[in-house]
């Protein structure tokens, strides 16, 4: 792809690339100076040194690899334009090294960056600030870098630590999760409960994985980001040596049921300590549409939690059927659509048959690339329906596990996803074949036909498995409805 208009004439003929969400966040922080001493994306040696020992090749501590993945055909260029998802050019990368990651085989480019304009994407962009736009704090500055709202416990601990350090407070909402807008609104909603003069500055910093090692790297990166914004201390859950600024671990707090306040555990009689809401219990309350108790979190935060995780009965959902041609997917999908419409309470969209073939799949072939593209298109539409609280029912063959997983991730970011495997045996699917597709495939007239000349990868993550050679269509529909009722998405008849 060539860079679009809006660039100086000397840059318009350069190839262009759109980084993925993590790389785009890294790009913004590189351009803003938050990642100093980095001036661009890392090369192979620096990346290997960071992964192995948490240091750049010159010995500078650095917690995470900051790399840029590109298509192989871009590796032969000396300069490329990096743009946002809307095609707005953000920076020019001067390529110092093109290299292939030995673990993923992905091609990467390294080199310094020349900023063209500040990124203007993402929620609450008006609140974002570069470190050089802030006046230096006088004395200590305590940072809280968080991907979660601050409940009453965390607010109390924060005030206690800030008072002990005689520190001002900087709250850094870390964007890049599923509900960035709700996170920022929840933090703005408790601004009155923060120490006077506290600032809230959103920072694009998506999580890069899970596990103890990744969690430690994440804390180190948070400390580096907080330090770039002038913080002298970072509030943390556990001590960790060698961070960019000291970590401060607050003393344990709990809810004192006797006087009905949160305070340090050391000041509470043991039999007056009320158990904190677990994440699982909090999710149960939200899923059922029950109120989150005021003793646990302020009302403004509770309201945002409910918006981010609405009750299951009103939450968007995609029911995704997969199976061989002739397995009965479409019949069950249509029956489910009818059953949900008859019950009421949900808007239903059926993504199957002629609508998909005419509106989404027109012009696509039976090649693996085109079939994957078809499933991604269906998944994208289903995710948008789900995002807005609707019910999407999809019934493609979807033979490949990786593409199904991609759709699951796409939908799960905005709602719920149910995978139904219609596991009718191949011989039964062939017996039912009224269009003669299987016969043509066996005769070689249809290339890459699923189940004959191309594989079907059976799912190992299906929420429900049906075999329509052993049950009538209405029984199969009933089993799907029962699953949705039991899960709380559909009201009982």
Interval 115-146: pLDDT, tens: 998 876 666 888 989 999 998 888 999 999 99
**Which of 90-94, 191-195, 449-453 has the lowest average pLDDT?**
449-453
Strand order in the sheet with 253-256: 261-264, 253-256, 273-274
Its sign, for the CA torsion 105, 111, 116, 121, is: positive
Examine the pLDDT at 4 and tell me if it is beyond 60: no
Bigger pLDDT: 451 vs 420: 420
pLDDT value of residue 179: 85
Distance CA 25, CA 92 (A): 16
pLDDT value of residue 126: 84
Mean pLDDT of the chain: 93
Distance CA 97, CA 94 (A): 9
Among candidate residues 81, 102, 108, 104, the one with its CA nearest the CA of residue 3: 81
Reported as half-sphere exposure (CB side, CA atoms, 13 A), residue 52 has a value of 9
User: Given pLDDT bands bounded at 50, 70 and 90, which one contains residue 199?
Assistant: very high
Examine the pLDDT at 3 and tell me if it is beyond 50: no
CA distances 134 to 49, 128, 309, 376, Å, are: 33, 11, 34, 43
pLDDT value of residue 6: 56
Examine the pLDDT at 2 and tell me if it is beyond 50: no
pLDDT value of residue 362: 87
Bigger pLDDT: 145 vs 86: 145
User: Given pLDDT bands bounded at 50, 70 and 90, which one contains residue 10?
Assistant: confident
User: Given pLDDT bands bounded at 50, 70 and 90, which one contains residue 7?
Assistant: low
Among candidate residues 106, 95, 101, the one with its CA nearest the CA of residue 47: 101
**178, 414 in Cβ contact below 8 A?**
yes
Examine the pLDDT at 5 and tell me if it is beyond 70: no
Q: What are the beta bridge partners of residue 110?
A: 97
User: Given pLDDT bands bounded at 50, 70 and 90, which one contains residue 421?
Assistant: very high
Q: How many CB atoms lie within 10 A of CB 281?
A: 13
pLDDT above 90 covers a percentage of the chain that reads 82
Q: Which tokens in the block code for residue 51?
A: 């992964």
pLDDT value of residue 446: 86
Distance CA 155, CA 134 (A): 24
What pLDDT, in 10s, does the model give residues 206-218? 999 889 999 999 9
Q: Beta strand pairing status for 40-41 and 107-115?
A: antiparallel
User: Given pLDDT bands bounded at 50, 70 and 90, which one contains residue 447?
Assistant: confident
* Mean pLDDT along residues 389-402: 96
* Mean pLDDT along residues 187-201: 96
What pLDDT, in 10s, does the model give residues 258-295? 999 999 999 999 999 999 999 999 999 999 999 999 99
Ordered domains of the chain (ranges, CATH): 9-115 (3.10.400.10), 123-308 (3.40.50.620), 312-486 (3.40.50.300)
User: Given pLDDT bands bounded at 50, 70 and 90, which one contains residue 1?
Assistant: very low
Question: 106: buried, middle or exposed (CB in 10 Å: 19+, 13-18, 0-12)?
Answer: middle
Local structure of 221: helix, strand or coil:
helix
Examine the pLDDT at 166 and tell me if it is beyond 60: yes
Distance CA 363, CA 62 (A): 48
Q: How many CB atoms lie within 10 A of CB 198?
A: 20
* Mean pLDDT along residues 184-201: 96
Q: What are the beta bridge partners of residue 425?
A: none
């Amino acid at each position: 792809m060539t860079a679009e208009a809006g660039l100086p004439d000397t840059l318009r003929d350069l190839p262009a690339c759109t980084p993925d969400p993590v790389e785009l966040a890294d790009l913004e922080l590189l351009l803003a100076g938050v990642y100093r001493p980095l001036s661009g994306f890392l090369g192979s040696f620096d990346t290997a040194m960071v992964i192995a020992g948490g240091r750049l090749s010159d010995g500078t501590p650095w917690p995470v690899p900051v790399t840029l993945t590109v298509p192989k055909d871009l590796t032969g260029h000396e300069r490329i334009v990096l743009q946002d998802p809307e095609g707005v050019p953000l920076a020019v990368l001067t390529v110092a090294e093109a290299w292939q990651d030995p673990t993923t085989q992905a091609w990467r480019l390294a080199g310094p960056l020349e900023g063209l304009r500040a990124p203007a994407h993402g929620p609450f962009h008006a609140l974002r600030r570069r470190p050089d736009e802030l006046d230096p704090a006088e004395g200590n500055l305590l940072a809280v870098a968080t991907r979660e709202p601050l409940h009453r416990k965390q607010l109390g601990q924060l005030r206690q630590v800030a008072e002990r350090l005689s520190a001002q407070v900087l709250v850094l909402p870390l964007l890049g999760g599923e509900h960035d807008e709700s996170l920022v609104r929840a933090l703005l909603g408790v601004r009155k409960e923060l120490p006077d003069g506290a600032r809230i500055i959103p920072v694009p910093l998506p999580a890069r994985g899970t596990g103890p090692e990744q969690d430690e790297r994440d804390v180190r990166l948070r400390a580096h980001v907080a330090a770039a914004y002038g913080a002298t201390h970072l509030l943390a859950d556990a001590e960790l040596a060698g961070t960019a600024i000291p970590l401060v671990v607050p003393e344990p707090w709990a809810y004192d049921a006797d006087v009905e306040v949160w305070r340090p555990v050391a000041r509470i009689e043991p039999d007056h300590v009320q158990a904190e809401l677990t994440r699982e219990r909090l999710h149960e309350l939200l899923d059922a549409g029950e109120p989150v108790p005021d003793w646990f979190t302020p009302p403004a935060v509770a309201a945002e939690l409910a918006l981010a995780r609405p009750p299951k009965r009103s939450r968007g959902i995609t029911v995704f059927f997969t199976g061989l041609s002739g397995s009965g997917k479409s019949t069950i999908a249509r029956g489910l659509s009818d059953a949900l419409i008859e019950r009421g309470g949900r808007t239903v969209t059926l993504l199957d048959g002629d609508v998909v073939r005419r509106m989404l799949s027109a012009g696509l072939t039976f090649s693996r690339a085109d079939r994957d593209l078809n499933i991604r298109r269906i998944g994208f539409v289903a995710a948008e329906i789900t995002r807005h609280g609707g019910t999407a029912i999809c019934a493609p063959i979807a033979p490949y596990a990786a593409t199904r997983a991609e759709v699951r991730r796409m939908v799960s970011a905005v709602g719920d996803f149910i995978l139904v495997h219609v596991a009718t045996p191949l011989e039964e699917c062939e017996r039912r074949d009224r269009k003669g597709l299987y016969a043509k495939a066996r005769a070689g007239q249809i290339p890459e036909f699923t189940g004959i000349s191309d594989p079907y990868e059976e799912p190992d993550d299906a929420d429900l498995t049906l075999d329509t050679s052993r049950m009538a269509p209405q029984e199969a529909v009933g089993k799907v409805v029962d699953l949705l009722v039991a899960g709380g998405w559909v009201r009982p008849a």
